[in-house]
Structure 1
Amino acid sequence: MNNYKNDNTARRYIAYVSIFGTTQIHLRNPYIIAWWSAAFPGFGHLLLSKYLRGFVLFIWEVVINLKSHVNLAMIYSFQGNIDMAKDVLNTRWLLIYIPVYIFAIWDSYRTTVDLNKIYVLAERENHRFNSFSMGAMEVNYLDKRNPILSVVWSLFMPGLGQLYIHRIIGAFFVIIWAVVFFYYSHLLEGISLLFLGEIKQATSVLDGEWLLFSPSLYGFAIFDSYMNTVENNKLVEREQKNFFEKMYQRPSFCIGKGKYANLFYI
């Protein structure tokens, strides 16, 4: 059952609520989105809810990065072994990596600018959107949630913050890749050995090439869950405001002009 279901009578919509999550457009800083694409291609597009493009770029980053040994070269560079960093790079794969990496940054920036313009137009149209969706597998509805809790759950496990705010598609994707990164980097095994006091063994067991993926994934999960919780809360207030205006505000209500600008007439 959908209340206020989008009926395609407007050119643009601000939000859409489905059983898989709440998708909305809002004003974003293009430079922040571009920065996330630079940190990890695909993240910028996922922040914009451009899932298909984001998934492709994310998987591309993992595969090409491992084939070209970019992360391994970064580790050697951090250690000051510049010659080893040069030797380990696979130029056959590296030359594929560079243009797509630049494209991810440029396209996320361009898309953000376009969506900001669309949001301004959609806000002026102020067309109604659905606030409740029920299906055979899930129920989703607009509701206020605590942004701090989103951050806390994301710290425990990337993806849980997205589950908390019902972003099912993004949550599944982040959780699956978090498990992959944890497994191949041996991060949890290293933490267990660290608690046992086996510092050298904990360090040696880690796979640095896979480990460097984890900080970006953690950072994205925290930022994405926090930002979307805040914006979802704003969306709830907007939907309630529109509902109250339609159901309870008299048609004759107006705001005075001129010297009566601060007076209300009913």
Structure 2
Amino acid sequence: MNNYTNENTARRYKAHVSIFGTTQLHLRNPYIIAWWSAAFPGFGHMLLSKYLRGYALFIWEVIVNVNSHLNSSMVYSFQGNIDMAKEVLDTRWLLMYIPVYIFGIWDSYRTTVDMNRVYLLSEREDHHFNSYAIGALEINYLDKRNPLLAVMWSLFIPGLGQLYIHRIMTAIFVIVWLVVFHYYSHLAESIFLLIIGNVKEATSVLKPEWLLFMPSLYGFATYDSYVNTIENNKLFEKELRKHLAENYQSEGFQILKGQKVK
């Protein structure tokens, strides 16, 4: 006898509000998601709220990239020192890097296409979802936020924009790795030396193999906070419109399409 019971009251939900954040389905451009996976494996999946897969690919990228000296090789190639770029590469790690890197791009593209289809079906079903969550640790609810404020805080410190819109899982992950990249790249130390006018030492203390991770992290945090602020605002408006129509709109109210008001 099968003891499994499906507690869902709908086949597909388009959103879920929990104390850890608001997760929702919405239309995404699969090429943009694939581009973020190419920029840094894991980012494309995190944009899709596929957190476990995204975290795994992100951590894999950092470990394999550092051990293969890929970023160091890129720095030498930017400087035109091709021989040194080849010499520093560790092929034992590099050959393992390529297949997973390609998989991350392909899987994020494939998943985006599938999730877009699921979104269209969930929109047609238009079932109710929870719009408010309260627990011992947090409170989360749908409301409208300013996307420009989300961008501003993300540019100050990646992760703050996610905290502003209550994407707790992504915020914690981004902030932790920001600290790691700052520490191992010696960026803060270099900035301090630059401020006091010691330019040569400021350049020498930098670790480029860790520093090259920073632009991708800043870019992702800014883009993710901006897009999700806009989509959360849309979700809030849709949920409020549905609530008002069901509870306050007259049953006899009709909008006659194609007819002009005389």
Q: TM-score, normalised to structure 2's length?
A: 0.95
Could you tell me how far 1:250 is from its partner in structure 2?
2.0
> What is aligned with 1:30?
30
Could you tell me how far 1:155 is from its partner in structure 2?
1.1
User: In the alignment, residue 156 of structure 2 is paired with which amino acid?
Assistant: F
Could you tell me how far 1:255 is from its partner in structure 2?
3.0
> What is aligned with 1:239?
239
Where do residues 83-122 of structure 1 align in structure 2 (5 Å cutoff)? 83-122=83-122
Where do residues 1-266 of structure 1 align in structure 2 (5 Å cutoff)? 8-256=8-256, 260=259
Q: What's the Cα RMSD here?
A: 1.3
Q: Distance in 1 between matches of 2:119 and 2:168?
A: 24
State the identity as a percent: 71
What SS does the corresponding residue of 2:250 show, helix, strand or coil? coil
Q: Distance in 1 between matches of 2:24 and 2:73?
A: 39
Q: Distance in 2 between matches of 1:246 and 1:171?
A: 35
CA-to-aligned-CA distance 1:33-81 (integer Å, 9 cap, x gap): 0000000000000000000000000000000001111101100000001
User: In the alignment, residue 175 of structure 1 is paired with which amino acid?
Assistant: I
User: In the alignment, residue 210 of structure 1 is paired with which amino acid?
Assistant: W
Q: TM-score, normalised to structure 1's length?
A: 0.94
> What is aligned with 1:4?
none
Q: Distance in 2 between matches of 1:46 and 1:102?
A: 17
Aligned length: 256
Q: Distance in 1 between matches of 2:133 and 2:105?
A: 34
Q: Distance in 2 between matches of 1:250 and 1:82?
A: 73
Could you tell me how far 1:91 is from its partner in structure 2?
0.6
Q: Distance in 2 between matches of 1:164 and 1:23?
A: 15
Structure 2 runs not aligned, ≥5 long: 1-6
User: In the alignment, residue 122 of structure 1 is paired with which amino acid?
Assistant: S
Q: Distance in 2 between matches of 1:215 and 1:189?
A: 18
Structure 1 runs not aligned, ≥5 long: 1-6
> What is aligned with 2:4?
none
What SS does the corresponding residue of 2:105 show, helix, strand or coil? helix
Q: Distance in 2 between matches of 1:25 and 1:193?
A: 46
Q: Runs (4+) of structure 1 moved beyond 3 Å?
A: none
CA-to-aligned-CA distance 1:202-250 (integer Å, 9 cap, x gap): 0001000000000000000000011101111111101100000110112
CA-to-aligned-CA distance 1:125-166 (integer Å, 9 cap, x gap): 111111110001100011111111111111111101000101
Q: Distance in 1 between matches of 2:122 and 2:95?
A: 41
Q: Distance in 2 between matches of 1:177 and 1:238?
A: 35
Could you tell me how far 1:9 is from its partner in structure 2?
1.4
